């Protein structure tokens, strides 16, 4: 507890791996992730039994699977967080290449599970969504390219990273999965901004994204249907957004009580995309604010530690991972309260989903690895030295 309040202790170069990891890791971030996973299990006990009953499964079938996938995700997160930034980068390149190949092959071997978007590979006992694993790998690879472009005689890394982003967005749009496509573009844009991109260029890219959205609205019935539902002044109470909106309204400040919620019997995605509606109905605004505070703590703590980082690659990759984590949570909760059109995006570490929680474990493990305390001076030291 002393270390969590007063900061990490100095680390000797010859320390064993585990003591060095424990001294240098951001314990606040790790604690918040563990609490989020615990809240996810708590909400799973409320949200998943109705779906299990409909499918003729054991009442806690989905909770058991969520615990198994989540435990694996936490183990992966711990393991990745112990790696050096160089090793994280190498594994991210391999993972990105494999995920991109899997994404490209989705139109041939993928399935939509009746949801209108070909996003998954069915393995019989489980399903895999390549785009979930692609995001952290892309962030690290794009950060590597951008950092390399800042070196003397370095490659045009920003251009390479932009081309990669466009390729990924094109394949995601084919599914269609515009939510993940927007998240990839946002991650690239925030890293490009941190790397020193002019505001005029970023505004131009934002305008191009809006124009692409207009084209998608005209060409994709799936996309147009979701936008029309979002823009409609009245919410059909028989839709998922209608059920979620009513549940949040009924929950009020303190909630209806544990097990007293009804939205879980109506929402087919109550345990995944709309888990926050279950939290709001049964536990009220209090639990929702706790969840928001936990996500804010993870992101703010990470960004503060990254501000002291002197390595541009680590700074860019960490910023991209932290902001991507934050925006995914914002999108999920924004959809539930009808601030955003439906995206089909999970709430990290809280929603049910094997691919989502394991990919989140990988991403946060990378973030923890990049934000570990290292023996270096403050980045301000370089600036002051140049000014002398």
Residue 4 lies in a domain: no
- CB count, 10 Å around CB of 199? 8
The tally of domains found in the chain comes to 1
Strand locations in 84-192 (E): 121-122, 127-128
Cα 48 to Cα 83: distance, rounded to the nearest angstrom? 35
Beta carbons within 8 Å of 255's beta carbon, 6+ residues apart: 261, 280, 281, 282, 283, 284, 286, 287
Cα 351 to Cα 335: distance, rounded to the nearest angstrom? 14
- Residue 111 belongs to what domain range? 26-387
- CB count, 10 Å around CB of 72? 14
- Note the residue count of the chain: 388
Q: Is it true that the peptide bond before 257 is cis, omega within 30 degrees of 0? A: no
Token pair for residue 28? 């606040």
Residue 155 lies in a domain: yes
Cα 29 to Cα 130: distance, rounded to the nearest angstrom? 26
Residue 19 lies in a domain: no
Helix (H, G, I), strand (E, B) or coil at 139: helix
**How does strand 121-122 pair with strand 127-128?**
antiparallel
Please give the C-alpha separations between residue 18 and each of 21, 24, 88, 222, 354, in angstroms, as whole numbers: 5, 10, 17, 49, 28
Residue 3 lies in a domain: no
Q: What angle do CA 267, 270, 271 make, to 5 degrees?
A: 150
CB 363 within 8 A of CB 346: no
Residue 234 lies in a domain: yes
Q: How far is CA 237 from the centre of its chain?
A: 29
| pLDDT at residue 4 in the model | 46
CB 349 within 8 A of CB 37: yes
Q: What are phi and psi of 111, to 5 degrees?
A: -140, 160
- CB count, 10 Å around CB of 256? 18
Cα four-point dihedral sign 222, 224, 230, 234: negative
Residue 11 lies in a domain: no
Residue 12 lies in a domain: no
**Residue 10 DSSP one-character state:** P
Please give the C-alpha separations between residue 209 and each of 105, 120, 215, 254, in angstroms, as whole numbers: 25, 25, 10, 40
> What are the pLDDT tens digits along the chain (388 aa)?
444 444 444 445 556 778 888 889 999 999 999 999 999 999 988 888 888 888 888 888 889 999 999 999 999 999 999 999 999 999 999 999 999 999 999 888 888 776 767 888 888 777 888 999 999 999 999 999 999 988 888 888 899 999 999 999 989 888 878 888 889 999 999 999 888 877 777 788 778 777 877 777 777 676 677 676 666 666 665 677 777 878 888 888 888 887 777 777 777 777 888 888 889 999 999 999 999 999 999 999 999 999 988 899 999 999 999 999 999 999 989 888 878 877 778 899 999 888 899 999 999 999 999 999 876 544 444 444 444 4
DSSP for 49-79?
A: HHHHHHTT--TTHHHHHHHHHHHHHHHHHHH
Residue 299 lies in a domain: yes
Cα 144 to Cα 295: distance, rounded to the nearest angstrom? 26
Cα 218 to Cα 130: distance, rounded to the nearest angstrom? 27
Q: What are phi and psi of 120, to 5 degrees?
A: -125, 155
């Amino acid at each position: 507890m002393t270390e969590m309040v007063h900061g990490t202790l100095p680390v000797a170069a010859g320390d064993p791996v585990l003591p060095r990891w424990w001294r240098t890791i951001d314990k606040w971030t790790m604690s918040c992730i563990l609490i989020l996973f615990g809240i996810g299990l708590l909400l799973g006990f409320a949200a998943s039994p109705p779906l299990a009953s409909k499918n003729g499964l054991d009442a806690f079938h989905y909770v058991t699977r969520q615990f198994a996938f989540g435990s694996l995700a936490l183990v992966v997160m711990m393991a990745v967080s112990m790696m050096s930034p160089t090793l994280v980068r190498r594994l991210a390149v391999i993972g990105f290449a494999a995920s991109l190949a899997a994404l490209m092959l989705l139109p041939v071997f993928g399935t939509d599970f009746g949801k209108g978007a070909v996003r998954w590979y069915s393995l019989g006992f489980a399903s895999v969504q390549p785009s979930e694993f692609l995001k952290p790998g892309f962030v690290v690879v794009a950060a590597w390219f951008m950092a390399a472009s800042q070196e003397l005689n370095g490659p045009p890394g920003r251009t390479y990273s932009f081309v990669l982003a466009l390729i990924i967005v094109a394949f995601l749009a084919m599914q269609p999965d515009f939510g993940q496509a927007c998240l990839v573009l946002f991650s690239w844009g925030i890293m490009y901004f941190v790397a020193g991109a002019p505001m005029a260029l970023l505004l131009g890219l934002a305008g191009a994204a809006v124009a692409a959205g207009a084209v998608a609205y005209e060409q994709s019935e799936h996309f147009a249907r979701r936008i029309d539902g979002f823009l409609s002044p009245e919410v059909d109470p028989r839709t998922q957004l209608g059920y979620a909106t009513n549940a949040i309204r009924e929950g009020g400040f303190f909630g209806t009580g544990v097990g007293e919620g009804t939205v879980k019997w109506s929402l087919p995605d109550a345990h995944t995309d709309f888990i926050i509606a279950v939290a709001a109905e049964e536990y009220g605004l209090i639990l929702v604010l706790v969840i928001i505070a936990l996500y804010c703590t993870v992101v703010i703590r990470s960004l503060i530690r990254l501000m002291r980082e002197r390595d541009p690659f680590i700074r860019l990759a960490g910023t991209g991972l932290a902001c991507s984590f934050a925006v995914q949570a914002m999108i999920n909760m924004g959809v539930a309260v009808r601030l955003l059109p439906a995206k089909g995006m999970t709430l990290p570490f809280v929603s049910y989903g094997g691919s989502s929680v394991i990919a989140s474990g990988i991403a946060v493990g990378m973030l923890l690895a990049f934000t570990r305390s290292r023996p270096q001076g403050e980045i301000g030291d370089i600036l002051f030295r140049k000014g002398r």
